[in-house]
Structure 1
Amino acid sequence: MKVVLLERVEGRGGLGDVVTVKDGFARNYLLPRQKALRATAANLKVFEAQRAEIEARNQKAKESAGKAGEALDGASYVMIRQAGETGQLYGSVTGRDVADVVNAEGGKIDRSMVVLDKPLKTLGLHPVKVRLHAEVAVTINVNIARSQDEADRQARGENVIASQFEEDRLADEQAAQDMLEGGAGQQEGDFGEQ
């Protein structure tokens, strides 16, 4: 189906471009969200008559998204989740979870603005792209941890999982050393002579 775009659509074109898209994409996404019009002769005339107004409205939306993006860009958010010893989450963090934590701390984004290629499934610091407008995107940092203390350690740059394994290794070495120095199985004194 041929459509005329009313705003920039990533991978398709910019405002005013006449592009061919799949029928389902046009009917289910572009047309209901007023991102495009069918490219009929009547609609093209209407678009050309209103082009200046549409461009001004798009520019105003871009500027307001840019102002909102300045507050969000580079911001860090902490999410406390349960995870196994290897840092694998019991579940995952999705776009909805990221939007909820940003909105809880005063931001205003929809879950559809969060761009995740795949859900986040491990502990650590994760950069997440947020698309506030077709032409405005910012990056926020999501710190996923098991506790606030762990989140603070991760924020300082410590690899919590590696340090946990190191602590466990040192504890095991200490226990083995204790056993060698007189722990289990060794007896001192005159027990056998009677």
Structure 2
Amino acid sequence: MEVILLERIEKLGQMGDVVKVKDGFARNFLLPQKKALRASEDNLAYFEKEKVTLEANNLKQKQEAEVILTKLDDFNLIIIRQAGETGQLYGSVNTNDVKTSLNENGFVVEKNQIKLDKPIKELGIHKVSVKLHPEVQAIISVIVSRTESEAETLIKGDEIKIESEENLISEDTINLEEVFEEGAVPEDINEESAEITEDNDNQISEDLSNENNSDTDESEKKDDADS
């Protein structure tokens, strides 16, 4: 389908350009969003007639976007989320979360203006672009942290405490050989082991003594019976 662009569209063209696009893209995006008109004779004539007005409106919108740009560009947007010791979020931060947070900070934007390639799933500073106008784009820093103070640490450029997965050893996997050097097992453990061994030896000796006494008693009883 051929359409007349009513504004600059990235990778397509400038306002007033007649371009050929896929039917689905035109019907589902360009036409309902009023970013283009079908390239019919009537619409071409309409555009030529309204060109000056359309260009004036576009210039006004661009200037308004540039005013917002001065406040939004390089803005630090703090989003608080729970996360594990490795920095992985319990969930994620998506486009709607960014939009909601921007709105709460006084910036009126829609989801389709925010470019987030994939949901954010870890703590840190993440660069996100916000299209304010076809020709004006802001880059903000989305700071995902567990607390406000942690966010301030990130903004200052300092590192936050995050454990690597290798350092998170479960108690079930810990044994003495991994924790202590060879021959360096603590004395109290050695003493406890020695006490257990000694107790076991004493118990065995006592059991053997009792068994021998029992055998002697049985022999004496047998001799008495024979007599």
Please give the TM-score of this superposition, normalised by the length of structure 2.
0.72
The alpha carbon displacement at 1:183 in A equals 6.8
The alpha carbon displacement at 1:112 in A equals 1.5
The residue number in structure 1 matching 2:209 is none
Once the two structures are superposed, what CA deviation does each residue of 1:106-163 show, in whole Å capped at 9, x if it has no partner?
222112111111111111011111101110001111110112232222222223244x
**Which deviates further from its counterpart, 51-60 or 86-95?**
86-95
The residue number in structure 2 matching 1:172 is none
**Which deviates further from its counterpart, 134-143 or 112-121?**
112-121
The residue number in structure 2 matching 1:110 is 110
The alpha carbon displacement at 1:100 in A equals 0.9
**Which deviates further from its counterpart, 138-147 or 79-88?**
79-88
Measure, in 2, the Cα distance between the counterparts of 1:142 and 1:161. Answer: 19
Measure, in 1, the Cα distance between the counterparts of 2:98 and 2:73. Answer: 14
Equivalences for residues 89-108 of structure 1 within 5 A: 89-108=89-108
The structure whose Rg is larger is 2
Equivalences for residues 27-46 of structure 1 within 5 A: 27-46=27-46
Once the two structures are superposed, what CA deviation does each residue of 1:12-56 show, in whole Å capped at 9, x if it has no partner?
111000000011111111111111010011110111111111100
1:183 to 1:22, Cα distance in 2 relative to 1, 3 A: farther
Identity %: 44
The residue number in structure 1 matching 2:189 is 185
The residue number in structure 2 matching 1:120 is 120
1:184 to 1:16, Cα distance in 2 relative to 1, 3 A: farther
Amino acid at match of 2:189: G
1:129 to 1:183, Cα distance in 2 relative to 1, 3 A: farther
Name the one with the larger helix percent.
2
Amino acid at match of 1:31: L
Runs of 4+ in 1 over 6 A off after TM superposition: none
Measure, in 1, the Cα distance between the counterparts of 2:7 and 2:46. Answer: 15
Measure, in 2, the Cα distance between the counterparts of 1:58 and 1:156. Answer: 39
The residue number in structure 1 matching 2:155 is 155
Say if 2:83 is the partner of 1:83: yes
The residue number in structure 2 matching 1:173 is none
Unaligned runs of 5+ residues in structure 2 are 169-178, 199-227
Counterpart of 2:189 in 1: which secondary structure?
coil
The residue number in structure 1 matching 2:48 is 48
Please give the TM-score of this superposition, normalised by the length of structure 1.
0.84
Measure, in 2, the Cα distance between the counterparts of 1:9 and 1:57. Answer: 16
**Which deviates further from its counterpart, 104-113 or 33-42?**
104-113
Measure, in 2, the Cα distance between the counterparts of 1:112 and 1:154. Answer: 28
**Which deviates further from its counterpart, 18-27 or 104-113?**
104-113
Unaligned runs of 5+ residues in structure 1 are 170-175
